[in-house]
């Protein structure tokens, strides 16, 4: 109501549609942009905006910011809440605005009564008017150029246009300067970081400009009462329409230029400019100009076909609303949803994105559609005095003969051809499912596959594989074999092999075995002679991945022009059935008749120790990778061979140290920084231009390795690699595999740590991933509840402990405070009941438990029971389970080690923090030099 009162008052004062519409669009732009800035305001700023904002959204957010989900659902707001105060303040403001509006209405009514009526001119019936055939002998180009100059002059003098652009630039600049962060950590203003914050505001402003001004320029001639003059002028309808369309293109180019200037200005302000023209075009100019120009052309056509501008605005608003409804209901498809065009996921490291050109294919499709609609609009172009629908229909049929029919038909046929090509890609070569269909298929997958997870099978003792990766053709071929060993303790008559879903073709072969393929590409191998306990056999395989076009979300991002990044599970068969691909949303599971929680064993289940979380045992490997000659491949193991053969690069990696079957494969045009950390070779693979924090990563590994080796035992390999990969739309900053840390380009490589007081999250993140070389790549937990406590929880504790050891308690306690605030922030936002630390297992919504709460609970053990006692028990835990096959450790095994590190009284106070989500005991780092004065516990 308050917003309506504001704009009603503005309309009463200005009597201007343009001013009111511009103010409304400006308000929406500022409002949506400011939603993300609330967390950056201090207490005084929050109070001011909570009272001043007319819809009460900020006031409500201020009231519930400190509440848990249960409190938000069950507690009523107090009478002195910010929302109540906001509504009371605006109730008075609404009454005042109403009074002002009525006063201006009375003044205007009085002015109309005093005005002397003018005599209306005698109407001239069109049937009795002279009709003079216009002559267009002057040439098409001069007519078009003259009209374009006139249209541009009118548009560029429009105050509403420049007000919208100024608001867009101001809001975007403030938002970009405040939002150059990655996960709340300061980041350099690389264009890949800026565009997600910049594009929504620019698109919203451009949408308002395109829709409003497109209809305005179509009907402006009649508003200025020059329609009859234009009708009598020697200018063709095509020149009139083309000039209006071209003028809108120039205006939208100004919007794109303003967006580029905003991004460049923010980069210049922060003294970091990566402004290569091709980067700006791919990441910013193209995504702005292409959809907005199509939208403007469609708006012009709709306005020309409508009886007035208001109907045209209504039709465009309805079309945009339908796209939003389609997306919300889950049946959106880019072929009929203009706003759902996939981007192709370009990045600074990989400007080609998925390599399919999906964004430009859809842009061509919608451009042809807009062209066909413009042809229809030209047939009924509103020239001169208004005509009824019947006369416009007769005129359109007369003009359709000849060239217009050919042009319109060609555009329709071309659109159909491009649409067919897109449909084949999205619905034939790839699958398309609505939200409901996808949910049902995932439920069916779980019902079919979950019972097979515990089926007995052999372990992989070693693997050999040769991988031929072709980034140009976006293809991969893998040929190799597994050495299988029966470790079940009983004869095996059959076992399962899970084939990756995205392979174009595959073969597997095991001598003396019959194959039977079931749904979801699960192969049952039935052995002619049962496999005896301890017996070994070789399973050979060949798999291929080929360019499969694009789906509704774009193409595959695994194999790309620069920065290919694949998990082995995408192209290598798996012995046993994978446990992924299940529904995680509780409501969705209930709708599909599934238990509320995905199937997983409890940590106390005696059968939980049989299966590793990754689903495979420890093995050795021999991996050969062939890739483009100008790229460097990275795979697990020692690099024992690296040369150019037939113009292609061949590298061989051998790992005698046990690793898991799940590994990462990367290939890109890297620069390499090599260093030594004791006996360990450290290699940083990075994109040219992203070297700012490379030395910081080297220092983190050099300093962190001695800390972790002293605390948890020796590092098992002679190498460690940090490898950059392209940042698309994921929120992962880094991850860890055996001897490798893949690091996102938007993570530590563009971190801005130039301010002396900045928290060094590059070192903290590197230490966290380095700690996974113990927690996850020496000790692999059982596939049971609490598995992520043994991986993410211990790795996050290790990183916080190392930061305290290397940088002192001040920095250590800052990391502790960030963990506490992050835990409470996400805990208050949760939708599901919070799991206990000993039961945390799934990713996504439980990360705040797996990372922050687990680490904070371990810090409490350190503070209350002594760091040396804790680390002694953790070293013993690593020695016991290091590279050990079944039985795998569970969270209860870790709890036993923690209990042994503490006196009974202290453990009684600490244990509920691990087991009861409602019990929280967090202790940071002490200011003194030593850990704590807790008595030493016996080994």
Peptide bond into 887 cis (omega under 30): yes
Same domain as 151, residue 94: no
3-class state of residue 322 by DSSP? helix
Name the residue with higher pLDDT: 314 or 61: 314
Question: What's the pLDDT score for residue 330?
Answer: 63
Other Cβ atoms closer than 10 A to 932: 18
Same domain as 333, residue 212: yes
Q: Both ends of the chain: CA-CA distance in Å?
A: 70
Q: Which residues in 588-647 belong to E strands, given as ranges?
A: 619-628, 632-634, 638-645
3-class state of residue 95 by DSSP? helix
The backbone torsions φ and ψ at residue 522, rounded to the nearest 5 degrees and listed phi first, read -105, 120
In a domain, 384, yes or no: yes
CA atoms 16, 22, 23, 24: torsion sign: positive
Answer for the pair 766, 741: CB distance below 8 angstroms, yes or no: yes
What are 739's two structure tokens? 């001897």
Question: What's the pLDDT score for residue 928?
Answer: 46
- The kind and range of the H/E element at 266 are helix 237-269
Same domain as 162, residue 36: no
Adjacent-strand bridge partners of 514:
526
3-class state of residue 622 by DSSP? strand
Q: Which residue has the tokens 């030395």?
A: 695
Cβ within 8 Å of residue 403, ≥6 positions away = none
* Beta-strand pair 459-470/185-186: unpaired
Domain finish residue from 87, 105, 123: 105
- The kind and range of the H/E element at 526 are strand 522-531
The boundaries of the domain holding residue 66 are 1-105
Residue 293 C-alpha from the chain's centroid? 25
Q: Is 172 exposed, middle or buried (0-12, 13-18, 19+ CB in 10 A)?
A: buried
DSSP 159-194: HHHHHHHHHHHHHHHHHHHH--EETTEEB---HHHH
d(C-alpha 268, C-alpha 84), whole Å: 43
pLDDT bucket at 229, cuts 50 / 70 / 90: confident
Residue 112 has pLDDT above 60, yes or no: no
Rounded mean pLDDT of the chain? 85
In a domain, 6, yes or no: yes
Determine the average pLDDT of the residues in 238-245.
84
Answer for the pair 255, 290: CB distance below 8 angstroms, yes or no: no
325-339 confidence digits (pLDDT tens): 776 666 678 888 876
Answer for the pair 239, 149: CB distance below 8 angstroms, yes or no: no
564-579 confidence digits (pLDDT tens): 999 999 999 999 887 7
- The vertex-247 CA angle with 244 and 252, nearest 5°, equals 125
Domain finish residue from 396, 428, 460: 428
Adjacent-strand bridge partners of 769:
none
Determine the average pLDDT of the residues in 20-44.
68
Question: What's the pLDDT score for residue 24?
Answer: 75
What are 85's two structure tokens? 């105060």
Q: What's the full length of the chain, in residues?
A: 939
3-class state of residue 830 by DSSP? coil
Answer for the pair 579, 783: CB distance below 8 angstroms, yes or no: yes
* Beta-strand pair 185-186/664-668: unpaired
Domain finish residue from 402, 428, 454: 428
Q: Which residue has the tokens 């991004």?
A: 263
Question: What's the pLDDT score for residue 453?
Answer: 83
d(C-alpha 160, C-alpha 163), whole Å: 5
3-class state of residue 310 by DSSP? helix
What are 104's two structure tokens? 């201006």
785-818 confidence digits (pLDDT tens): 999 999 999 999 999 999 999 999 999 999 999 9
Other Cβ atoms closer than 10 A to 91: 12
Using CA atoms of 290, 291, 297, 302 in order, give the dihedral in degrees to the nearest 10: 170
Same domain as 324, residue 416: yes
CA atoms within 13 A on the CB side of 410: 6
| Cα distances (Å, whole numbers) of residue 36 to 62, 175, 193, 272, 379 | 13, 8, 15, 23, 46
Same domain as 424, residue 313: yes
In a domain, 56, yes or no: yes
d(C-alpha 474, C-alpha 557), whole Å: 9
Question: What's the pLDDT score for residue 328?
Answer: 66
Same domain as 308, residue 168: yes
Answer for the pair 545, 500: CB distance below 8 angstroms, yes or no: no
Answer for the pair 355, 561: CB distance below 8 angstroms, yes or no: yes
Same domain as 311, residue 414: yes
d(C-alpha 123, C-alpha 804), whole Å: 89
For residue 94, what is the DSSP state? H
Answer for the pair 565, 558: CB distance below 8 angstroms, yes or no: yes
* Rg value, the chain, Cα: 33
3-class state of residue 136 by DSSP? coil
The backbone torsions φ and ψ at residue 307, rounded to the nearest 5 degrees and listed phi first, read -70, -20
What are 318's two structure tokens? 């309805």
For residue 461, what is the DSSP state? E
71-89 confidence digits (pLDDT tens): 666 677 777 787 788 888 8
What are 353's two structure tokens? 């994105």
Name the residue with higher pLDDT: 788 or 164: 788
Answer for the pair 182, 734: CB distance below 8 angstroms, yes or no: no
747-778 confidence digits (pLDDT tens): 888 888 888 888 899 999 999 999 999 999 99
* Beta-strand pair 536-545/550-551: unpaired
Other Cβ atoms closer than 10 A to 77: 15
d(C-alpha 130, C-alpha 228), whole Å: 13
Question: What's the pLDDT score for residue 708?
Answer: 97
**What percentage of residues in the chain have a pLDDT greater than 70?**
87
In a domain, 407, yes or no: yes
Determine the average pLDDT of the residues in 129-151.
68
Residue 845 has pLDDT above 80, yes or no: no
d(C-alpha 503, C-alpha 478), whole Å: 11
The backbone torsions φ and ψ at residue 509, rounded to the nearest 5 degrees and listed phi first, read -150, 130
d(C-alpha 779, C-alpha 276), whole Å: 45
Same domain as 312, residue 180: yes
What are 369's two structure tokens? 């559609």
3-class state of residue 779 by DSSP? strand
What are 680's two structure tokens? 């360990």
H-only helix segments in 694-760:
694-712
The backbone torsions φ and ψ at residue 443, rounded to the nearest 5 degrees and listed phi first, read -65, -40
In a domain, 182, yes or no: yes
Q: Is 372 exposed, middle or buried (0-12, 13-18, 19+ CB in 10 A)?
A: buried
In a domain, 753, yes or no: no
386-410 confidence digits (pLDDT tens): 666 777 777 777 777 777 788 888 9
Question: What's the pLDDT score for residue 205?
Answer: 84
Residue 931 has pLDDT above 60, yes or no: no
What are 819's two structure tokens? 């963990």
Same domain as 214, residue 72: no
429-479 confidence digits (pLDDT tens): 998 888 888 889 989 988 888 888 888 999 999 999 999 999 999 999 999
Name the residue with higher pLDDT: 39 or 842: 842
Answer for the pair 381, 303: CB distance below 8 angstroms, yes or no: no
Cβ within 8 Å of residue 444, ≥6 positions away = none
3-state helix/strand/coil string of 323-382:
HHHHHHHCCCCCCCCHHHCCCCCCCCCCCCCCCCCHHHHHHHHHHHHHHHHHHHHHHCCC
Overall domain count for the chain: 2
Q: Is 844 exposed, middle or buried (0-12, 13-18, 19+ CB in 10 A)?
A: exposed
Same domain as 100, residue 169: no
Cβ within 8 Å of residue 533, ≥6 positions away = 486, 487, 488, 489, 490, 491
Question: What's the pLDDT score for residue 935?
Answer: 52
Residue 378 has pLDDT above 90, yes or no: no
Residue 652 has pLDDT above 90, yes or no: yes
877-902 confidence digits (pLDDT tens): 999 999 998 899 999 999 999 999 99
Same domain as 167, residue 79: no
**What percentage of residues in the chain have a pLDDT greater than 90?**
42
Task: Output the pTM of the full model.
Answer: 0.87
Using CA atoms of 657, 660, 661, 663 in order, give the dihedral in degrees to the nearest 10: -90
For residue 36, what is the DSSP state? T
Residue 670 has pLDDT above 60, yes or no: yes
In a domain, 360, yes or no: yes
Q: Is 658 exposed, middle or buried (0-12, 13-18, 19+ CB in 10 A)?
A: buried
Same domain as 314, residue 269: yes
In a domain, 27, yes or no: yes
């Amino acid at each position: 109501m308050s917003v309506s009162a504001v704009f009603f008052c503005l309309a009463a004062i200005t009597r201007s549609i343009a001013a009111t519409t511009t103010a409304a669009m400006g308000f929406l732009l500022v409002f949506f942009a400011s939603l993300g800035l609330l967390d950056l305001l201090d207490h005084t700023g929050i109070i001011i905006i909570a009272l001043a904002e007319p819809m009460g959204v900020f006031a409500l957010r201020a009231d519930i910011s400190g509440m848990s989900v249960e409190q938000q659902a069950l507690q009523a707001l107090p009478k002195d809440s910010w929302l109540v105060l906001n509504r009371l303040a605006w109730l008075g403001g609404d009454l005042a605005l109403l009074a002002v509006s009525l006063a201006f209405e009375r003044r205007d009514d009085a002015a109309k009564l005093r005005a002397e009526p003018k005599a209306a001119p005698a109407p001239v019936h069109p049937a009795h008017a002279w009709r003079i055939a216009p002559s267009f002998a002057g040439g098409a180009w001069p007519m078009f150029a003259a009209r374009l100059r006139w249209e541009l002059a009118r548009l560029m003098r429009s105050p509403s246009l420049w007000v919208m652009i100024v608001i867009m630039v101001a809001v975007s600049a403030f938002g970009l300067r405040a939002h150059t962060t990655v996960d709340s950590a300061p980041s350099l203003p690389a264009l890949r970081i800026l565009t997600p914050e910049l594009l929504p505001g620019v698109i919203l402003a451009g949408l308002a400009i395109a829709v409003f001004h497109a209809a305005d320029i179509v009907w402006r001639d009649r508003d200025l009462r020059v329609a009859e003059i234009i009708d009598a002028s020697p200018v063709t309808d095509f020149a009139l329409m083309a000039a209006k369309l071209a003028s809108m293109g120039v205006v939208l180019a100004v919007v794109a230029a303003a967006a580029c200037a905003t991004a460049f200005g923010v980069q210049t302000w922060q003294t970091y400019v990566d402004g290569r023209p091709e980067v700006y075009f791919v990441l910013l100019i193209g995504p702005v100009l292409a959809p907005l120009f199509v939208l403007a052309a469609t708006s012009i056509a709709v306005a020309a076909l409508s009886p007035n501008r208001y109907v045209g605005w209504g039709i465009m608003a309805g079309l945009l609303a339908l796209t939003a409804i389609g997306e919300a209901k889950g049946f959106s498809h880019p072929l009929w949803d203009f706003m759902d065009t996939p981007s192709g996921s370009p990045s600074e490291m990989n400007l080609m994105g998925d390599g399919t050109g999906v964004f430009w294919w859809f842009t061509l499709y919608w451009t042809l559609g807009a062209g066909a609609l413009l042809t229809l609009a030209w047939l009924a172009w509103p020239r001169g005095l208004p005509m009824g629908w019947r006369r416009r229909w007769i005129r359109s049929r007369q003009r359709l003969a000849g060239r217009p029919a050919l042009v319109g038909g060609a555009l329709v046929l071309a659109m159909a051809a491009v649409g067919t090509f897109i449909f084949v890609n999205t619905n034939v070569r790839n699958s398309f499912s609505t939200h409901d269909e996808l949910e049902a298929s995932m439920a069916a997958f779980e019902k079919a596959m979950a019972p097979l997870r515990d089926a007995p099978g052999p372990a992989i003792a070693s693997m050999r594989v040769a991988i031929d990766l072709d980034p140009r053709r976006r293809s991969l071929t893998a040929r190799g074999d597994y050495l299988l060993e029966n470790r079940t303790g009983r004869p095996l008559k059959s076992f399962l092999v899970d084939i990756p879903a995205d392979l174009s073709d595959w073969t597997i072969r095991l001598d003396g075995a019959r194959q039977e393929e079931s749904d979801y590409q699960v192969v049952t191998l039935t052995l002619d002679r049962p496999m005896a306990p301890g017996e070994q056999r070789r399973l050979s395989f060949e798999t291929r991945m080929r360019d499969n076009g694009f789906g509704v979300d774009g193409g595959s991002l695994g194999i790309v022009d620069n920065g290919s990044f694949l998990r082995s599970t995408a192209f290598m068969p798996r012995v046993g059935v994978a446990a992924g691909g299940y529904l995680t949303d509780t409501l969705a599971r209930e709708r599909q008749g599934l238990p509320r929680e995905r199937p997983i064993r409890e940590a106390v289940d005696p059968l939980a120790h049989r299966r590793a979380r990754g689903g495979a045992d420890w093995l050795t490997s021999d991996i050969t990778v062939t890739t483009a000659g100008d790229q460097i491949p990275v795979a697990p193991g020692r690099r024992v061979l690296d040369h150019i053969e037939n113009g292609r690069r061949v590298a061989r990696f051998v790992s005698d140290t046990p690793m898991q079957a799940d590994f990462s494969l990367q290939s890109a045009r890297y620069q390499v920084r090599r260093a030594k950390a004791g006996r360990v070779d450290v290699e940083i693979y990075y994109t040219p231009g992203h070297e700012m924090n490379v030395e910081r990563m080297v220092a983190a590994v050099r300093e962190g390795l001695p800390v972790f080796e002293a605390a948890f035992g020796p590092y098992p390999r002679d190498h460690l690699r940090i490898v950059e990969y392209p940042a698309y739309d994921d929120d992962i900053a880094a991850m860890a595999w055996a001897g490798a840390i893949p690091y996102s380009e938007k993570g530590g490589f563009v971190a801005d740590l130039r301010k002396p007081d900045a928290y060094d999250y590059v070192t903290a993140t590197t230490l966290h991933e380095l700690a996974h070389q113990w927690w996850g790549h020496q000790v692999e937990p059982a596939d049971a509840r609490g598995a992520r406590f043994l991986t993410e929880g211990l790795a996050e504790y290790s990183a916080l402990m190392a930061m305290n050891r290397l940088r002192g308690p001040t920095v250590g306690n800052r990391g502790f405070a960030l963990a506490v605030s992050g835990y409470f922030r996400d805990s208050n936002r949760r939708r599901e009941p919070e799991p206990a630390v000993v039961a945390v297992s799934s990713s996504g919504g439980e990360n705040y438990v797996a990372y922050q709460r687990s680490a904070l609970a371990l810090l409490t053990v350190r503070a209350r029971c002594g760091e040396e006692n804790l680390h002694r028990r953790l070293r013993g835990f690593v020695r016991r389970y290091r590279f050990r096959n079944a039985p795998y450790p569970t969270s209860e095994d870790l709890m036993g080690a923690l209990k042994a590190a503490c006196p009974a009284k202290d453990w009684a106070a600490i244990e509920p923090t691990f087991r009861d989500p409602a019990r929280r005991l967090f202790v940071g780092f002490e200011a003194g030099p030593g850990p704590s004065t807790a008595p030493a516990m016996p080994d």
